[in-house]
Structure 1
Amino acid sequence: MSPDDVEVARAVEERQKFRRELRHELEAIRGRWGWLMALGIALVVFGVVAMSLPLATTLVTALALGITLILGGGAQLVGAFWTRDWSGFFLVLLMGVLYAVLGVLFLNRPIEAMLALTLLLAAMLLVGGAFKTIASAWHQFPQWGWVFAGGLLELALGLMIWLEWPSPASLAVIGLFVGIDMVFSGWTWIMLALRLKHLGDRHRHATPAPAA
């Protein structure tokens, strides 16, 4: 066999191995499809609520981030004192203090903190959109048109946020994105639950009934 044939055979074997492992994992949790379905539906409902109340969702997100940063900073500080003889002690200590300070800022001034995050999001969309449009138009790889269109969409969205900042409309973007992410995550869980239910039904029909 040529080296190319060996690589192809290895790739096919890896793909088959991945499918076997995935099938085994799905078989292991197929009886819990109802819980996963409930989780997916709950996420979709909460996501729709978040999208309909984006400003409130943004505020809740800021408070949750603040609490998370404070807890993370506390863990970093504890870890730093546990390893104070380590050469990276001051770096871990500095990161812990930084996390804690940012967490306090998020809790004390959530609106200003989310405005800063919104501006950062706009800058990331503008830079990422520009890179995608230029790179896809330059290289014109297969299906480059979709990447080009996605880059234009990111540019338009980033520019819209940038021009609206710091109005309440720009502040609602974070909450809207959180809601959209929850809806997509919930839909993914629902699809997985339906797949597991299908596997369970097929297994039940394939299993012969016990003899009387």
Structure 2
Amino acid sequence: MTVPQDITRLQSQVSAAVREHWKAFLIEGILLAILGLAAIVAPLLASIAFTIFFGWMFFIAGIVGLAMTFWARQMPGFWWSLISAVLAIGAGIILLARPLQGVLTLTIVIGAYFLAEGVATIMYALEHRRELSERWSWMLFSGILDILISFLIISGLPGSAEWAIGLLVGINLLFGGASLIGVALAARKG
């Protein structure tokens, strides 16, 4: 077989699998959309839930990392691996013990991320304006929007910690759910 035939066969298999399981996509999409709307309506609660989830992720990853570090203690980099695992456990414990302070810290990180992402996107757009013709302006707009979001988050601290994470996660869940609903409905018809 050739590569184009393999790609065509793979695409038809994926399409068949989506058609066969369209109800699962629909249920997942509806659930994500509902969770997204709930996060948008109650952003502080969603922010705290997200912070606690992150805390558990760090804690569990740290415990697993610690176990793996001692299991493979003969490997080079033992001390760096040990420090990394202990830091993850510590970060998890702090986020779980003080989720409201964790929300503030994560909000600062998100604000800094949007600022850095915005600057990088603007620079990318300016660098590629000849190759991307009219489309480079959309990238420029996206970068400017990222910087504006960063400004709203950072300048509004500490108050923006009450809504930023929950709202952003909610919007992401809502759009992700809506896209899965669209995929499911299209697969049902096809």
With normalisation by structure 1, the TM-score equals 0.81
- Following superposition, the deviation at residue 149 of structure 1 comes to 0.7
Find the partner of 2:186 among 163, 172, 195: 195
The answer as to 2:179 corresponding to 1:181 is: no
* 1:55-66 equivalence runs, <5 A: 55-66=44-55
Cα-to-partner distance string for 1:54-104 (whole Å, 9 max, x where unaligned): 000000111111111111111101111111111132222221111100000
Aligned to 1:114: 103
Bigger-Rg structure (1/2): 1
Aligned to 1:7: none
* 1:1-212 equivalence runs, <5 A: 14=3, 17-141=6-130, 142=132, 143-167=135-159, 169-199=160-190
- Number of equivalent positions: 186
Tell which deviates more after alignment, 26-35 or 50-59.
26-35
* Aligned-partner SS, 1:127: helix
**Deviation >6 Å, runs of 4+:** none
- Following superposition, the deviation at residue 14 of structure 1 comes to 4.5
CA distance in 1, matches of 2:30, 2:97: 34
Q: Kindly indicate whether the alpha-carbon contact (under 8 Å) linking 1:80 and 1:93 is maintained by their aligned counterparts in 2.
A: yes
CA distance in 2, matches of 1:70, 1:138: 41
What CA RMSD, in Å, does the superposition of the two structures yield over aligned residues?
1.8
CA distance in 1, matches of 2:152, 2:5: 46
Q: 1:138 to 1:20 in 2, by over 3 A?
A: same
Using CA pairs under 8 Å that are at least 6 residues apart, name the structure with larger relative contact order, 1 or 2: 2
Structure 2 residue runs of 5 or longer lacking an equivalent are none
CA distance in 2, matches of 1:159, 1:15: 47
With normalisation by structure 2, the TM-score equals 0.89
CA distance in 1, matches of 2:124, 2:11: 35
- Following superposition, the deviation at residue 153 of structure 1 comes to 0.6
Structure 1 residue runs of 5 or longer lacking an equivalent are 1-12, 200-212
In structure 2, give the amino acid aligned to 1:59: I
* Aligned-partner SS, 1:162: helix
Identity of aligned residues (%): 27
